[in-house]
Amino acid sequence: MERDETSRIPGYQQPPVFGQVFDAGELPERFRNMGMPYVVYDHETTTVLRYAFPEGKILKITKCGTSEALFEHAKAECRILLGLRGTPGVLHVYDYEIDEAGKRVFLLEEDGRSLSEYLAHNLIQVREIPVIGAGILDVLCRIRDAGYYHLDISPKNCYYDRGKIQIGDFNCSMPVEHVREVGEHLIGTVRYMAPESFCHYVHDERSELYAVGILLYEILNGGIEAFRPAGDAEEARKRRMNGEALPLPQYAVRYPDVLGALAACVMKACTADPEERYQTFEDMRRALAEAGFDLFAQNVDLSISGGYGDKEITVFD
C-alpha cells in the first residue's frame, strides 16, 4: 500500500529503504495478514528494525541475538507500554509477541514522525520550541504519575505532529521506586544523558529534565550538539560530563532580545549540578509557558536550520 508521507509533514522526504523486507513466513502468524510491510529505516542498529504496515502502524522488531540484557529490556518495554496504554501522549501499542527461542520481540505500535526527522529537514519554527518542550513535560508528568520514568528522552523518541507530542521507545524505562537500583549501569542515549547519570549512575526526575533541556538546547543550536563543531563528539561529551557550562545556543546569541527568556529557561535545565536545575517537570513546564507567552507576544517567525543527523545509540551498559 503506497503511503503519502509528504501529506504528514510538509517538505518531508521518505528516508532510503534499508535492506530487504522480511519474508512474511518469518513474521509471527498474527502479523502475516496485515498487508505486505516494507522497511522504513534502520532505527538504531541492525538489531532494531521498523517495518511499516498500512493504516499507520509500525512493526518494531528487536533481534537480541545473544544479548540477554537487550532481550530483557525489550520484553520490559512491552509490559510497560501495555501498562501505559491509553495514557495521553504515549505512543499507542496494538499488539506484541515475544519469541523466546529466537530472542526476538515484535511490537506493533502507532506510526509517528520523530523530532529528529523534523530537525533534519529544517521544519521547526522557533515559536514551536516552548510548545514542544511543554508537550514533552506534560507526557513525562503522566508517565511519572503512572509510576515510571522514561530515562531515554531524545529527538528520536519524541514524536511531533501539529503541536501534539507523543513519546515512544520505552526500552530504558523503569518504575519510579526502582530507578535508583540500576547499579553501575549506563541507561539511555549518551548525547542527552545527565552528568550524574553518566558519571555516578544516578537517575531521577532531574535527570529527565536535563535530557529535555539538552534536546531543546540542540533545537536552538540549529540541531548541533553543545561544544561542536569545535571538537569531535567524544571531546564535546567529555566537556559536558565534566560539568563545563554550555555556551549559549547559536540562535540565542543571534537573537538575544527575542529568545532571551526561552534560552534562560533551557540553560537552567542544562545545568550540570542537578540542585541548580528545575526540580520537577511542573516547574520547568511553568517556566516554558511564560517564555512561550513572551515569544508569541513578539510575533516572531524564525525557522531553525542546521545539521542534526548524527546516529545515536541507546546503551544498556
pLDDT-wise least confident of 137-151, 156-170, 265-279: 156-170
Cα gap 162→183, rounded to integer Å: 40
Give the three cell numbers for residue 121: 529537514
Q: Model confidence over 252-281: pLDDT tens digits?
A: 998 888 899 999 999 999 999 999 999 999
Given 3-state DSSP classes, what are the helix, strand and coil percentages for the chain, each rounded to the nearest 5? Answer: 40, 20, 40
Confidence of residue 2 (pLDDT cuts 50, 70, 90): very low
Query: With 50 as the cut, is the pLDDT of residue 78 above it?
Result: yes
> Boundaries of CATH 1.10.510.10 in the chain?
115-316
> Boundaries of CATH 3.30.200.20 in the chain?
5-110
Query: With 60 as the cut, is the pLDDT of residue 211 above it?
Result: yes
Q: What is the separation, in whole angstroms, between the first and last Cα of the chain?
A: 39
Nearest to 151 by CA among 171, 173, 122: 173
Across 24-39, average pLDDT: 66
Nearest to 308 by CA among 148, 116, 102, 176: 116
Cα gap 116→310, rounded to integer Å: 10
Instruction: Tell the residue number behind the cell numbers 552528568, with chain if given.
Output: 195
The CATH architecture one would assign to domain 5-110 is 2-Layer Sandwich (3.30)
pLDDT of residue 314: 44
CATH superfamily of 115-316: Transferase(Phosphotransferase) domain 1 (1.10.510.10)
